[in-house]
C-alpha cells in the first residue's frame, strides 16, 4: 500500500472528506502505518491520548470494562477514525480499543494532528463540521430515546 | 616590556647577535666578490701586463707596524690562469651564497624559536595569573575577552621578540656605514641626507603615533566585540526567550561599524604616512642631482664622487625604512603589551601555589569545624553577614537553615572557597582553613552547588575531575630517559617556565582512592552513579554509545554473543518478524537506500547524511553501476513530492523540519534543479544540483515513506552496487574508513544498540520498539552485560558546560564528583534541587550512611526533611540563630545580632 492508496482511504474518512489532495498527502505522509494482530490492544481506557488512528483495513472494537466483563460500545471498520476525541479534547482515553481482526491503521501523532489544525483552517473546519454532525446525530438519537425512557428523572 | 623580554631571553638574544655579527664579513665578501669577478677575471685586470697566472685563495693579512710589520700568510694560494680564476671566484661566490643562506636559516630559526618560546611563557604567565584571580576579580572578567587576549593579542608580541634587540642594532649599523661613506665623499651632500633623514625620523613617528592610538582603540573595540559575542552565544536561550535577536544584531552591527570606522581611519593615516615617507626618500636624489650636479659643474665635487654618493645612498633607505618600521612595531607592541598587562594586574591575587617540585600535601581536615566572628561582604562591598560564630564536632551531620537569612549560603561559599571572608576565622581540625593551600581544601572539602560546572569531555573525566591531583612530585630536572620527544618536551618546559607535568601522566589521586585498575574505577563510578539515581541514565548513554575496544577488549565478543542470544530469544518468543536482520546478500527493506549501498558504518561525514551525495567513491560506483540516473530520479521524485506536500507551510514550520527531506533554505535551489532535471536529464545537472537531487534518495525507506519508488530490479542493482562499494573500499586500502557489517564481529563505528540489534526494528508492527527494547534489556541482564555497557556510557561526551546532560544528570554527576574524592567534609548547597523530592530524600539517606563517620553539611531553606541531621542550626533574618542538638555536638554558642 502506497501513499497514494492511503490518500484514497483518507478521502473517504468523513472528517477529511472536504480536503484537497495536497492536504491529504501531507496527512498521510506525516502519519505512520502500523499493523496490529487481531486481539491486540490499540490503547487502554485512561491512557494519555497520544494519537488518532484511521483504519485502513480490518475491524476494531471499543470496549468498556464493566463488572460483567468487557462490554462492546462501538465497532469500527475501514475509513473510520478512532481516538481523535481524546486528542482534540486533550483528555485520557475514554474507552479501550482492541483489534477485532488483523488491523492496519494510519497512526496520526497528536502533535502532528494539532499542528495541522493550527496551520490549515480548512482541516479545522472539516473536523468541526464532522463533530457538529456527530453532535447533531447524538441529539437526534437522544430526542428519539428520551420519551421512551420514562423511568429516569428528567433534567433541565 | 623590553625588560620582560630581556630578562627571559638575554642568552638567546646575545647568541643571535653574535651569529649576526659573525655573518657580516661573509655578507660583505659576497658583495665584494662580483666586483672581483668582473674586474679581475672577466675584464682581466689581474692579467693585464701579459701575466698569464695569478694566485688564487692567498689567505693572509698584513701585520700592523707595531707588531713589526710583515705579512702572515695563511695559505699561499694556487696559481691559476684567467679561466681558472673565473671558475675559482665563481665557485667561491657560490660557496658564500651557501654560507650566507645557512647563516640566514639559522638566524631565522633561532629568532622564530625565541619568539615562540617567549610567547609560550607569556601566555602561560597570563593563564597562571587568571588561575590566581580571586573570586571577586573573576566576577568582573569576561571569559571570551580573556581568551582573545591570551590567544590572539599576544601573538604579534611573539613575532616581535626575535627582532627586539638584534634588528635595530643591525639596521642602525648598516645605515651608519652608508652614512659615513656618504660623509666621506662629500660633507655638504652628507648634511643634506642627514637633514632629510632627520625629518623622516622626527615627523613620521609623530604621525604614526596617531595611527597607533587608533590601533589601540581598535584593539580594545575588537576585544570587546569578542567578549560581547561570547556573552550573546552563552546567553542565546535568553535572547530567544525574550525575542531580542533584533536588538542583539543591532548592537553587534554598531560595534562592527565602529571597528570599520577605526580601521578606515587607520588606513587613511597609514597610507598618508607611507606617501610622505616615499616622498622624502625620493626628495634626496632630487637634491643629489640638483645640488650635487651644481657642485660638480662648479668643480667643487668630482663626478666620480657624486656617482659614488648616489650609489651609497641606494643602500641607505632600506635599512632606514626598516628601522622606522621596527620603531613603529615596537610602539605598537608596547601598547599591546601594556594593554594586556593592564588586564592582568587586578588588585588581589591568590597566593601562588607551591612549586613544581613539591609533592602533594596530604593534610586531612577530619576534625571539628569552628567558625568565629565571620563577616562576608557581597560583590558591592555591603555586609552580607556579620559576626557569625558556629561550630560543630566531627563526625557530624549538620543542617544550616535560613530563609531569607543569607548566612547558611555564605558559610557554604566560604567553605567552598568561592568567597574570601572579610573578617573572622575558620578553624577545621585545628588548622586555619583560610590559610590552607587549595590542594588541601580542594581535596578534603567538597561542595555540591545548585549550578554545577562541568567541562567538555567524557562523563568519566568529569566524575574524576575532583581526583585530578598528581600524587608524585614532579621532577624539576631533565630526565635522562632515552625518549627524545619527552626530553625535548621537558627541556622546552624548563626554558619557558611552563609546568613539567604532562596531562597524559597518571593524575589520579591514588592517595585517596588507592591503586585501582581502570575497571575498578569504572565500577566505583557506576556504583556512585546508581546511588544518585543515574544508573539507568548511564546505561542508556552506553547503549547509545560507541564501544572503544582498546579500553574494553573483552566487550566486542560479548556483544556479538548478546546479538546471537537476542536473535534466539526473539525467535523463541515468536517475535523474529520485529527485526529485519542485516544480511549481506539481501536488500534490507527497513533500511534506507544509502544504508543498503554502504552496508556498514562510518563516522566519516562523507559516509553520513548529505556527505554521501558528494563522496567521490560512492559517486564513482554509482556511475559504474549505472545507478546515478535511477537514484537522482528517485531523489527528484522525493523532492517534488516534498514540495507539493509542504508547499503551503512556512519553511521553518515544525512539520517541515520534522518530516521534509529537504532543507528549507534550499527550496529555490531544488526548484531550479528539478526543472533542469526534467528538461535535460542527468546531463543538465552540475555537481551541486546532482548532489542536491541525489541526497534525498539515500534516506529513502520504502515501507516508511511509501512513495513506491523501489522495485525488485532496482533492489537487485543496489545489492550489486553494495558489493562494488565493498570491493572499491578494499582496493583503496585504508583510505576510506567504512566498517562493513559482519554478523560475527562488532562494528566499532555503529552504536552499541545497533550492534546488538544488527538489523532494523519494523516500526510498522504495533509497539515493536517497546517490545524489542524489553527483550534487549532481558538479554543484557541475563548475560550480565549491564555494568560493561554502563561503563561504555562513562565515555559519553557531556558537551560544553555539560549541556548534553539534563539538569538532573548534571546535578547527579556533580554529586558523584564530590563523593568519589572522599572528602572529610561534604557541603550540599542546593545540589538536590535538581532532583524530585522522593529522589532527593533517597539520595540524602545514602549520603547520611556514606558520611556517618565524616562531616555532612546541608544548606537548607527550612527545617522540613532535615530529621536525619544531628544538628540543625537555624538562622533567622535578624542574624540570630538557634541550634537544635539531637546527638552529641557543640553546646549552643552566643546569639548575636547584626552590628
Which tens digits make up the pLDDT trace of B30-46? 766 776 777 776 766 66
Q: Do B610 and B708 reside in the same domain of the chain?
A: yes
Q: Do B343 and B195 reside in the same domain of the chain?
A: yes
Question: In angstroms, rounded to a whole number, what is the distance separating the alpha carbons of residues A13 and A30?
Answer: 17
Other residues' Cβ atoms within 10 Å of the Cβ of residue B83: 9
Question: In angstroms, rounded to a whole number, what is the distance separating the alpha carbons of residues B833 and B459?
Answer: 21
Q: Do B636 and B723 reside in the same domain of the chain?
A: yes
Instruction: Residue B778: name the closest of B628, B566, B608 by CA.
Output: B566
Task: Pick A29's closest partner by Cβ from B645, B649, B703.
Answer: B645
Residue B291's pLDDT band (cuts 50, 70, 90): confident
Please answer yes or no on whether A33 and B706 come within 8 Å at the CB atom. yes
Residue B717's pLDDT band (cuts 50, 70, 90): very high
Q: Which residues of B touch A25 (CB under 8 A)?
A: 641, 644-645
Residue B898's pLDDT band (cuts 50, 70, 90): very low
Instruction: Residue B850: name the closest of B518, B397, B522, B545 by CA.
Output: B397
Q: Do B321 and B408 reside in the same domain of the chain?
A: no
Please answer yes or no on whether B766 and A34 come within 8 Å at the CB atom. yes
Q: Are A30 and A108 in contact (CB under 8 A)?
A: yes
Residue B872's pLDDT band (cuts 50, 70, 90): confident
Q: Which of B644, B766, B769, B770 to mutate to test the interface with A (most CBs of A within 10 A)?
A: B766
pLDDT tens track for B215-244: 888 888 888 888 888 888 888 888 888 888
Question: In angstroms, rounded to a whole number, what is the distance separating the alpha carbons of residues A30 and A10?
Answer: 13
Q: Do B592 and B680 reside in the same domain of the chain?
A: yes
Cα–Cα distances in angstroms (integers) from residue B783 to residues B549, B565, B575, B742, in the given order: 19, 9, 20, 21
Q: What is the mean pLDDT of residues B344-349?
A: 70
B492: in domain: yes
Q: Residue B289: its pLDDT value, please?
A: 80
A71: in domain: yes
Please answer yes or no on whether B705 and A29 come within 8 Å at the CB atom. yes
Residue B600's DSSP bridge partners are: B740
Tell whether the model's pLDDT for residue B833 goes beyond 80: yes
Which residues of A sit within 8 Å Cβ distance of B? Answer: 1-4, 6, 22, 25-26, 28-30, 32-37, 40, 42, 111-112, 115-116, 119-120
User: Quick one: cell of B623?
Assistant: 556511475
B631: in domain: yes
pLDDT over 90 percentage in chain A: 21
| Inter-axis angle of helices A121-145 and A110-119, nearest 10 | 110
Residue of B nearest to A29 (CA): B705
3-state secondary structure of B417: coil
Interchain contact B653–A (C-beta under 8 A): yes
Q: Which of B590, B640, B645, B699 to mutate to test the interface with A (most CBs of A within 10 A)?
A: B645
3-state secondary structure of A25: helix
A118: in domain: yes
What lies within 8 Å, CB to CB, of B761 at 6+ separation is B578, B579, B590, B768, B769, B772
Q: What is the mean pLDDT of residues B370-399?
A: 85
A153: in domain: no
What is the pLDDT of chain B when averaged over all its residues? 82
Q: Do B735 and B634 reside in the same domain of the chain?
A: yes
> By residue range, what is the domain housing residue A117?
3-145
Residue A154's pLDDT band (cuts 50, 70, 90): very low
B373: left (phi over 0), alpha (psi -120 to 50) or beta: left
Q: What is the mean pLDDT of residues A130-155?
A: 72
Cα–Cα distances in angstroms (integers) from residue B140 to residues B217, B255, B342, B420, B453, in the given order: 21, 21, 14, 16, 18
Residue B895's pLDDT band (cuts 50, 70, 90): very low
Please answer yes or no on whether A3 and B707 come within 8 Å at the CB atom. yes
3-state secondary structure of B763: coil
| Inter-axis angle of helices B518-531 and B837-850, nearest 10 | 130
Please answer yes or no on whether B706 and A6 come within 8 Å at the CB atom. yes
Residue B877's pLDDT band (cuts 50, 70, 90): low
Residue of B nearest to A26 (CA): B645
The residue with greater pLDDT, B582 or A66, is B582
Q: What is the mean pLDDT of residues B775-784?
A: 92
Residue B205's pLDDT band (cuts 50, 70, 90): confident
Q: What is the mean pLDDT of residues B287-304?
A: 78
Lowest mean pLDDT among B418-422, B540-544, B864-868: B864-868
Q: Which residues of B touch A37 (CB under 8 A)?
A: 766
B285: in domain: yes
Distance to chain B for A110, nearest Cα, Å: 12
Among candidate residues B722, B740, B758, the one where a domain is terminated: B740
Residue B828's DSSP bridge partners are: B448, B858
Q: Which of A5, A26, A123 to mutate to test the interface with B (most CBs of B within 10 A)?
A: A26
Burial of B244 (0-12, 13-18, 19+ CB in 10 A): middle
Q: Residue B899: its pLDDT value, please?
A: 30
Q: Do B220 and B341 reside in the same domain of the chain?
A: yes
Q: Do B336 and B405 reside in the same domain of the chain?
A: no
The residue with greater pLDDT, B165 or B255, is B255
Q: How many domains does chain A have?
A: 1
B802: in domain: no
- CATH code (residue A81): 2.60.120.10
Interchain contact B643–A (C-beta under 8 A): no
Residue B860's pLDDT band (cuts 50, 70, 90): confident
Q: Which residues of A touch B707 (CB under 8 A)?
A: 2-3
Tell whether the model's pLDDT for residue B815 goes beyond 90: yes
Q: Which residues of B touch A120 (CB under 8 A)?
A: 648
Question: In angstroms, rounded to a whole number, what is the distance separating the alpha carbons of residues A90 and B281?
Answer: 86
B873: in domain: yes
Q: Residue B878: its pLDDT value, please?
A: 62
Q: Which residues of A touch B763 (CB under 8 A)?
A: 32, 34
Q: What is the mean pLDDT of residues B301-307?
A: 73
Instruction: Residue B632: name the closest of B622, B642, B641, B624 by CA.
Output: B622
Task: Pick A36's closest partner by Cβ from B641, B655, B766.
Answer: B766
pLDDT tens track for B393-430: 888 889 888 877 788 888 888 888 888 888 888 998 88
Q: Residue B505: its pLDDT value, please?
A: 76
Q: Are A74 and A145 in contact (CB under 8 A)?
A: no
The residue with greater pLDDT, B187 or A42, is A42
Burial of B687 (0-12, 13-18, 19+ CB in 10 A): exposed
Q: What φ, ψ does residue B421 adopt, rounded to 5°?
A: -65, 150
Question: In angstroms, rounded to a whole number, what is the distance separating the alpha carbons of residues B830 and B447?
Answer: 10
Angle at B58 (CA atoms; ends B56, B64), nearest 5 degrees: 150
Q: Do B595 and B734 reside in the same domain of the chain?
A: yes
Residue of B nearest to A25 (CA): B645
Tell whether the model's pLDDT for residue B887 goes beyond 50: no
Please answer yes or no on whether A25 and B644 come within 8 Å at the CB atom. yes
A155: in domain: no
Q: Residue B31: its pLDDT value, please?
A: 66
Q: Are B750 and B563 in contact (CB under 8 A)?
A: no
Q: Do B291 and B392 reside in the same domain of the chain?
A: no
- CATH code (residue B296): 1.20.1560.10
Q: Residue B795: its pLDDT value, please?
A: 92
Please answer yes or no on whether A115 and B765 come within 8 Å at the CB atom. no
Q: What is the ipTM of this complex?
A: 0.84
Please answer yes or no on whether B708 and A35 come within 8 Å at the CB atom. no
Other residues' Cβ atoms within 10 Å of the Cβ of residue B41: 23
Q: Which residues of A touch B654 (CB under 8 A)?
A: 111, 115
Angle at B705 (CA atoms; ends B700, B706), nearest 5 degrees: 115
The residue with greater pLDDT, B192 or B568, is B568
Tell whether the model's pLDDT for residue B734 goes beyond 80: no
Q: What is the dihedral of CA B352, B356, B358, B362, to 10 degrees?
A: 70
Distance to chain A for B719, nearest Cα, Å: 23
Distance to chain A for B645, nearest Cα, Å: 5
Q: What is the mean pLDDT of residues B548-574?
A: 89
Q: Do B587 and B624 reside in the same domain of the chain?
A: yes
Distance to chain B for A29, nearest Cα, Å: 7
The residue with greater pLDDT, B159 or A26, is A26
> By residue range, what is the domain housing residue B828?
369-454+823-885
Q: How many domains does chain B have?
A: 4
Q: Are B495 and B117 in contact (CB under 8 A)?
A: yes
B120: in domain: no
Distance to chain B for A23, nearest Cα, Å: 7
Q: Residue A117: its pLDDT value, please?
A: 87
Residues 690-719 of B with CB under 8 A from A: 703-708
- CATH code (residue B394): 3.40.50.300
Please answer yes or no on whether B641 and A30 come within 8 Å at the CB atom. no
Question: In angstroms, rounded to a whole number, what is the distance separating the alpha carbons of residues B890 and B227?
Answer: 49
Q: Do B203 and B342 reside in the same domain of the chain?
A: yes
Question: In angstroms, rounded to a whole number, what is the distance separating the alpha carbons of residues B765 and A37?
Answer: 9
Task: Pick B764's closest partner by Cβ from A6, A34, A116.
Answer: A34
pLDDT over 70 percentage in chain B: 89
Distance to chain A for B343, nearest Cα, Å: 52
pLDDT tens track for B461-513: 999 998 888 766 655 566 666 677 778 888 888 888 887 777 777 788 777 77
Please answer yes or no on whether B764 and A33 come within 8 Å at the CB atom. yes
3-state secondary structure of B51: coil
Please answer yes or no on whether B764 and A1 come within 8 Å at the CB atom. no
Please answer yes or no on whether A2 and B706 come within 8 Å at the CB atom. yes
Q: What φ, ψ does residue B153 adopt, rounded to 5°?
A: -70, -25
Amino acid at each position: 500500500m502506497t501513499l497514494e492508496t492511503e490518500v484514497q482511504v483518507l478521502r473517504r474518512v468523513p472528517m477529511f472528506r472536504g480536503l484537497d489532495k495536497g492536504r491529504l498527502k501531507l496527512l498521510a505522509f506525516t502519519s505512520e502505518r502500523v499493523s496490529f494482530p487481531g486481539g491486540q490492544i490499540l490503547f487502554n481506557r485512561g491512557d494519555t491520548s497520544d494519537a488518532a488512528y484511521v483504519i485502513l483495513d480490518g475491524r476494531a472494537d471499543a470496549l468498556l470494562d464493566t463488572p460483567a466483563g468487557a462490554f462492546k460500545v462501538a465497532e469500527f471498520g475501514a475509513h473510520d477514525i478512532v481516538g481523535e476525541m481524546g486528542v482534540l479534547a486533550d483528555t485520557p482515553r475514554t474507552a479501550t480499543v482492541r483489534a477485532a481482526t488483523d488491523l492496519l491503521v494510519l497512526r496520526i501523532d497528536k502533535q502532528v494532528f494539532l499542528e495541522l489544525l493550527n496551520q490549515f483552517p480548512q482541516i479545522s473546519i472539516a473536523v468541526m463540521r464532522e463533530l457538529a454532525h456527530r453532535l447533531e446525530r447524538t441529539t437526534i438519537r437522544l430526542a428519539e430515546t428520551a420519551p421512551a425512557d420514562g423511568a429516569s428523572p428528567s433534567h433541565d | 616590556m623590553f625588560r620582560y623580554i630581556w630578562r627571559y631571553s638575554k642568552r638567546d638574544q646575545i647568541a643571535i647577535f653574535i651569529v649576526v655579527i659573525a655573518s657580516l664579513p661573509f655578507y660583505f665578501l659576497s658583495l665584494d666578490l662580483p666586483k672581483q669577478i668582473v674586474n679581475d677575471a672577466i675584464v682581466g685586470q689581474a692579467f693585464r701586463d701579459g701575466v698569464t697566472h695569478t694566485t688564487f685563495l692567498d689567505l693572509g693579512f698584513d701585520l700592523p707596524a707595531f707588531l713589526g710589520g710583515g705579512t702572515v700568510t695563511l695559505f699561499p694560494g694556487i696559481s691559476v690562469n684567467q679561466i681558472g680564476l673565473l671558475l675559482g671566484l665563481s665557485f667561491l661566490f657560490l660557496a658564500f651564497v651557501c654560507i650566507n643562506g645557512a647563516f640566514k636559516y639559522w638566524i631565522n630559526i633561532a629568532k622564530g624559536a625565541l619568539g615562540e618560546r617567549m610567547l609560550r611563557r607569556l601566555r602561560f604567565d597570563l593563564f597562571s595569573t587568571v588561575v590566581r584571580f580571586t573570586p571577586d576579580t573573576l566576577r568582573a572578567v569576561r571569559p571570551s575577552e580573556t581568551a582573545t587576549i591570551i590567544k590572539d593579542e599576544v601573538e604579534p608580541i611573539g613575532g616581535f621578540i626575535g627582532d627586539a634587540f638584534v634588528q635595530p642594532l643591525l639596521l642602525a649599523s648598516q645605515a651608519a656605514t652608508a652614512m659615513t661613506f656618504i660623509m666621506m665623499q662629500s660633507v655638504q651632500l652628507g648634511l643634506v641626507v642627514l637633514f632629510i633623514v632627520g625629518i623622516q625620523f622626527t615627523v613620521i613617528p609623530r604621525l604614526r603615533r596617531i595611527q597607533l592610538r587608533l590601533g589601540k582603540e581598535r584593539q580594545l573595540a575588537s576585544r570587546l566585540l569578542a567578549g560581547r559575542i561570547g556573552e550573546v552565544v552563552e546567553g542565546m536561550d535568553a535572547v530567544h526567550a525574550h525575542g531580542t535577536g533584533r536588538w542583539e544584531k543591532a548592537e553587534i552591527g554598531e560595534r562592527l561599524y565602529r571597528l570599520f570606522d577605526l580601521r578606515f581611519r587607520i588606513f587613511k593615516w597609514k597610507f598618508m604616512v607611507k606617501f610622505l615617507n616615499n616622498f622624502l626618500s625620493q626628495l634626496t636624489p632630487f637634491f643629489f642631482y640638483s645640488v650635487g650636479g651644481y657642485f660638480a659643474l662648479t668643480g667643487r665635487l668630482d663626478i666620480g664622487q657624486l656617482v659614488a654618493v648616489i650609489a651609497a645612498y641606494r643602500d641607505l633607505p632600506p635599512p632606514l625604512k626598516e628601522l622606522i618600521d621596527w620603531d613603529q612595531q615596537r610602539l605598537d607592541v608596547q601598547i599591546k603589551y601594556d594593554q594586556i598587562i593592564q588586564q592582568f594586574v587586578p588588585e588581589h591575587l591568590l597566593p601562588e601555589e607551591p612549586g613544581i617540585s613539591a609533592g602533594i600535601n596530604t593534610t586531612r581536615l577530619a576534625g571539628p569545624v569552628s567558625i568565629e566572628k565571620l563577616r562576608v561582604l557581597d560583590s558591592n562591598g555591603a555586609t552580607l553577614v556579620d559576626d557569625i560564630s558556629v561550630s560543630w564536632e566531627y563526625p557530624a551531620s549538620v543542617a544550616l537553615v535560613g530563609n531569607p537569612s543569607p548566612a547558611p549560603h555564605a558559610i557554604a561559599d566560604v567553605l567552598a572557597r568561592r568567597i574570601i571572608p572579610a573578617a573572622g576565622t575558620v578553624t577545621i581540625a585545628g588548622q586555619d582553613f583560610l590559610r590552607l593551600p587549595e590542594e588541601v581544601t580542594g581535596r578534603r572539602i567538597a561542595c555540591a552547588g545548585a549550578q554545577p560546572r562541568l567541562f567538555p569531555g567524557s562523563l568519566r573525566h568529569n566524575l574524576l575531575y575532583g581526583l585530578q591531583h598528581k600524587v608524585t612530585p614532579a621532577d624539576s630536572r631533565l630526565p635522562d630517559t632515552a625518549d627524545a620527544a619527552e626530553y625535548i618536551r621537558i627541556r622546552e618546559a624548563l626554558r619557558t617556565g611552563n609546568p613539567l607535568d604532562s596531562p597524559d601522566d597518571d593524575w589520579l589521586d591514588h592517595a585517596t582512592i588507592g591503586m585501582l585498575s581502570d575497571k575498578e574505577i569504572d565500577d566505583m563510578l557506576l556504583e556512585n552513579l546508581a546511588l544518585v539515581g543515574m544508573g539507568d541514565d548511564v546505561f542508556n548513554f552506553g547503549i547509545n554509545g560507541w564501544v572503544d575496544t582498546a579500553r574494553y577488549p573483552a566487550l566486542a565478543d560479548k556483544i556479538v554473543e548478546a546479538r546471537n542470544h537476542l536473535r534466539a530469544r526473539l525467535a523463541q518468543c515468536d517475535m523474529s518478524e520485529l527485526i529485519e536482520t542485516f544480511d549481506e546478500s539481501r536488500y534490507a527493506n527497513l533500511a534506507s537506500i544509502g544504508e543498503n549501498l554502504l552496508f556498514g558504518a562510518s563516522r566519516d561525514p562523507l559516509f553520513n547524511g548529505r556527505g554521501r551525495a558528494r563522496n567521490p567513491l560512492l559517486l564513482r560506483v554509482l556511475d559504474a553501476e549505472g545507478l546515478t540516473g535511477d537514484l537522482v530520479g528517485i531523489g527528484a521524485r522525493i523532492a517534488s513530492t516534498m514540495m507539493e506536500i509542504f508547499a503551503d507551510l512556512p519553511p521553518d514550520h515544525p512539520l517541515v523540519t520534522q518530516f521534509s527531506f529537504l532543507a528549507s533554505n534550499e527550496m529555490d535551489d531544488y526548484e531550479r534543479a528539478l526543472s533542469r532535471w526534467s528538461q535535460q536529464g542527468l546531463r543538465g545537472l552540475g555537481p551541486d544540483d546532482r548532489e542536491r537531487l541525489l541526497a534525498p534518495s539515500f534516506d529513502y525507506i520504502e515501507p516508511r515513506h511509501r512513495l513506491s519508488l523501489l522495485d525488485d530490479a532496482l533492489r537487485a542493482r543496489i545489492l550489486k552496487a553494495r558489493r562494488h562499494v565493498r570491493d572499491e573500499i578494499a582496493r583503496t586500502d585504508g583510505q576510506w574508513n567504512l566498517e562493513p557489517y559482519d554478523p560475527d564481529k562488532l562494528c566499532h563505528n555503529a552504536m552499541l544498540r545497533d550492534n546488538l540489534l544488527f538489523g532494523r526494528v519494523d516500526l510498522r508492527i504495533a509497539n515493536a520498539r517497546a517490545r524489542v527494547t524489553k527483550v534487549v534489556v532481558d538479554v543484557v541482564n541475563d548475560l550480565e552485560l549491564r555494568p560493561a555497557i554502563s561503563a561504555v556510557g562513562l565515555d559519553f561526551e557531556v558537551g560544553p558546560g555539560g549541556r548534553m546532560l539534563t539538569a538532573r544528570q548534571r546535578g547527579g554527576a556533580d554529586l558523584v564528583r564530590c563523593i568519589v574524592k572522599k572528602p572529610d567534609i561534604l557541603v550540599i548547597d542546593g545540589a538536590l534541587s535538581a532532583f524530585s523530592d522522593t529522589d532527593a530524600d533517597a539520595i540524602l539517606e545514602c549520603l547520611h550512611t556514606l558520611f556517618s563517620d565524616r562531616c555532612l553539611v546541608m544548606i537548607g531553606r527550612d527545617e522540613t526533611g532535615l530529621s536525619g541531621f544531628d544538628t540543625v542550626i537555624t538562622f533567622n533574618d535578624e542574624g540570630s540563630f538557634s541550634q537544635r542538638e539531637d546527638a552529641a555536638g557543640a553546646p549552643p554558642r552566643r546569639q548575636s545580632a547584626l552590628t
